[in-house]
Structure 1
Amino acid sequence: MPAPHDAPLETLFLPFSKAGLRWPQGPVLFLRARDGWPLREHADSAQLVCTQSFRPFAEALQRSGWEVRDEQALEQSDERYAVVLVLPPRQRDEARALFAQALDKLAPGGIIVACQSNNEGARSGESDLQQLAGLGGTLTKNHCRAYWSQPAEGKHDVALHKRWAALDAPRKIVDGRFLSRPGVFAWDRIDPASALLVEQLPADLAGRGADLGAGWGYLSSEVLARCPKVTALDLYEAEARALALARHNLAEAGAQVKLDFRWHDVTTGIDDRYDFIVSNPPFHTPAREDRPDIGRRFIAVAAQSLRPGGQLFMVANRHLPYEQILTESFGQVRVAAERDGFKVIVGTRGRA
């Protein structure tokens, strides 16, 4: 689901047309790649390797014919690239680790080119790349900042490179109960909206359930801890980095209950049927565009995926306009709790 106009993606390629950077003959690596006309206009699909852990963006790239590798496959490869393109994320530790990875994969004499929107940390990103490897130039347009570096072999800050490479490594959170990492949603804490939803979960939930937008697994872990009659639980999550954490966090529970971890874009629909569904749906994408329609689609898909009499337990920001789709999709709808700007909604699918 790339944005119709992706300003950072468009601006990322301007240094090659406006600032004299040369597009190489050899392969190019694109970290956190997104599809769009600027990519198709400037790149040769036979020479481009992409990484993208967010399923909708990865699928869009693949539909356009680009090669998409996961993080592990990239780390295990010895291949080096004349140009490494980067769309850094907003979370700074994650972004710094991505710059360190870009440096790892850069061929001698190669160039790192990155771009961020101004309200998503562009100046910080530029400062960080300069600190790590030196700055070759910068260009601003479309409320974005593109910046680049051509570090000489061995002349970058080696000690800083080593520290930054580990900044987004998984680590224990919440007194060691869970494993998480920078960049995933609510990575270092229990999200207060999810905590409010957990308080409203009835202990008699039973049968087969699903967690839509499971993140690193907090909601699912609480469902299994509080509801002993649950026999199976499917976790749907579009961000592969988060899903890997959920798999680890629920490893012990998987010995007692059938679990399935699905790297899936919920908005495309679900084929299976469930007795209950829990969800803290997203309302924006990793590209930071505001998308309340994603939450509305989560609600519609949940209703279609519930068996007659099945229930959806969801939490959302109080201001989000979900009432119409809830009323259209469920036989009964009630607000179970409101606190700190959040609302917990329970929808029951009609039996007819």
Structure 2
Amino acid sequence: MTSERLRFAIETGGLVLPDDGPLALIGAPADAPVDMLDTSRLTVIQTDAAAHDGWVARGLPTATAPEGRFAAAIVTLPRARDAAEARLALAARHANMVVIDGAKTDGVEAILKALRQRVTLDGQVSKAHGRCAWVRPGDALADWLRPTQAQNAHGDWVAPGIFSADAPDEASVALAAALSALKGDVADLGAGWGWLSRGILRHHGVKTLHLVETEKTALDCARLNVTDPRAVFHWADATAWTPPQPAGAHAPRKLDAVVMNPPFHTGRRADPALGRAFIEAAARVLAPHGQLWMVANRHLPYETALIALFRDVAEIGGDSRFKLLHAARVIRARR
């Protein structure tokens, strides 16, 4: 855990944070302990909606981007190398001291090797299958900064670290081709940078499409990629999202369809529970006549969750890598 490495570095490894000035905690999960830090000086920087909401609930100042100067920035490394470099460069732009905290499985060794070619590390410790290091980089990381959004080879707006940034995901392409006669109010849960949403909006019967995405950088790209006026954007945890209530309505809004290519990893670890949470969310927001269309990796056992929540479940396509699934007639719990 991040807290184990940071605590160990502070208590026994020689990390001495500045006595004065604000501190930034960048990218840390919402359950990370901060009792080893002076929380009166702390601002959390988090672009994931679920983690952002978690920090707000804990009563700490929380923002989506750093502003002004910090005495030190404590950076939790993301999995993607380009996102890790960009996050460290952003921290270096705003802070005199940068503390790097990462797991080996998230590439911390490679990042530290690259850092040593540019600057001298002030110190480092190994703990909990990872490393925590600290440095005063100055402007040595300036070339690691990347545009917040940039166009890929296909002309789509993407950002460092987001899923399938180089090209449309093949599973999403297959799912879009399998959709039939969508209409009414629809949601794309885990919309990413918006490629699948554009496919959904090719169906003229769609009245409104809700793009629900937890990662703000991806959703900001979707706003650029999806310009259809029927699109409504929601920065939210898709597993907890509820459709907005129509003005004057007395009952919760329910949707006619949900389309999704849900994530199936937590970090580098396959996590079927995440996909099941997406399926449960879809069942919760669908009307009795509503339909779910989804794609999943072939090996993930989502059929059990679908059968428990829908009366009609069928595989409608796919290949050796992924499967296309359709479900209808939500099973409502008896009162």
Q: Is the shorter-chain TM-score for this pair beyond 0.5, marking a shared fold?
A: yes
**Aligned-partner Cα distance in 2 for 1:131–1:314:** 45
1:247 alignment partner, one of 186, 211, 223 = 223
Match status 1:36 vs 2:8:
no
Name the structure 2 match of 1:275.
256
Which residue type is aligned with residue 26 of structure 2?
Answer: L
Q: Deviations over 1:166-219 (max 9, x none)?
A: 2x542212521x1111211111111111112112111x2111111000000011
Task: State the SS of the aligned residue for 2:232.
Answer: strand
TM-score by length of 2: 0.90
**Aligned-partner Cα distance in 2 for 1:196–1:279:** 12
Match status 1:144 vs 2:139:
no
Runs of 4+ displaced beyond 3 Å: 35-38, 287-290
Which residue type is aligned with residue 57 of structure 1?
Answer: A
1:87 alignment partner, one of 69, 76, 81 = 76
Q: Conserved in 2, the CA contact under 8 Å of 1:88 and 1:125? A: no
Match status 1:24 vs 2:18:
yes
Name the structure 2 match of 1:13.
7
Unaligned runs of 5+ in 1: 1-6
- Counterparts of 1:149-188 in structure 2 under 5 Å? 149-151=135-137, 156-157=139-140, 161-166=141-146, 169-176=148-155, 178-188=156-166
Match status 1:130 vs 2:116:
yes
Name the structure 1 match of 2:177.
199
2:236 alignment partner, one of 264, 267, 278 = 264
By how many angstroms is 1:61 displaced? 1.4
Structure 2 vs 1, CA of residues 340 and 181 (structure 1 numbering), >3 Å: closer, same or farther? farther
Q: Conserved in 1, the CA contact under 8 Å of 2:309 and 2:331? A: no
Identity, in percent, stands at 34
Q: Conserved in 2, the CA contact under 8 Å of 1:112 and 1:149? A: yes
Name the structure 2 match of 1:212.
189
Which residue type is aligned with residue 243 of structure 1?
Answer: L
Q: Report the structure, 1 or 2, having the larger helix content.
A: 1
Unaligned runs of 5+ in 2: 244-252
By how many angstroms is 1:288 displaced? 4.2
Task: State the SS of the aligned residue for 2:279.
Answer: helix
2:204 alignment partner, one of 214, 221, 228 = 228
By how many angstroms is 1:229 displaced? 1.3
**Aligned-partner Cα distance in 1 for 2:29–2:185:** 35
1:318 alignment partner, one of 298, 310, 316 = 298
Task: State the SS of the aligned residue for 2:117.
Answer: helix
Structure 2 vs 1, CA of residues 298 and 24 (structure 1 numbering), >3 Å: closer, same or farther? same
- Counterparts of 1:322-337 in structure 2 under 5 Å? 322-337=302-317
Which residue type is aligned with residue 86 of structure 2?
Answer: A
Q: Deviations over 1:122-146 (max 9, x none)?
A: 1111123323432122211111111
Match status 1:308 vs 2:288:
yes
Name the structure 1 match of 2:86.
97
By how many angstroms is 1:47 displaced? 0.7
Q: CA RMSD of the aligned region, Å?
A: 1.9
- How many residue pairs match? The answer is 322
Name the structure 1 match of 2:247.
none
TM-score by length of 1: 0.86
**Aligned-partner Cα distance in 2 for 1:334–1:37:** 40
